[in-house]
Amino acid sequence: MSEVILHIYDVTNSDSEKTNNTIVQINKIFKDGIGLGGIFHSAVQVYGEDEWSFGFCEEGSGVFSCPFGRNPMYTYRESIVLGITEFNISKVNQILSELSREWPGDCYDLLSKNCNHFCNEFCDRLGVPELPEIAGNTAYRVRVATFFNCVAATMITWGAF
């Protein structure tokens, strides 16, 4: 058995200091202020000192690890204990091996297959709750809003309004 910990980062990998600061401020307002989420990177830690996540690469698996809380691409924000997995380390390594094959880096999509989606899948297989809404649903909200905007535009075009 092992604790399963979610590590959350502000997405601050822009070359622009101004953009990075803006993202941190947006996250403070939307997550900390009104509880709606923000622009975050997430990773899951189980057994050991490394966290596991998913990102874009042109070849091979997009699944990667780094020391927890120290992803060099982002600014560490917080950790949340999601639960305890009943699986031993061998089973967890088997799950990670399967996920590594199933999540190639060239399939990364910001709105439909990102680090938060990976962490949800990993947590599901570990038998612990998925990411809290504030950490992982911003991409979903963007997809839903885009869908409804397209539907509304189509209905207006057809004269439904």
pLDDT (tens, 9 = 90+) of the chain, 161 residues, equals 999 999 999 887 767 777 667 767 776 676 666 565 677 889 999 999 999 999 999 999 999 999 999 998 888 989 999 999 999 999 999 999 999 999 999 999 888 899 999 999 999 999 999 887 655 554 444 444 444 444 445 545 555 44
54 burial class (0-12, 13-18, 19+ CB within 10 angstroms)?
buried
Kindly list the domain boundaries of the chain, sorted by start residue. 2-157
Q: Are strands 40-46 and 50-54 parallel, antiparallel or unpaired?
A: antiparallel
CA distances from 158 to 38, 82, 154, 155, 161 (A): 35, 47, 6, 5, 8
Q: Which residues contact 112 (CB under 8 A, 6 or more apart)?
A: 139, 143
The CATH class of 2-157 is alpha beta
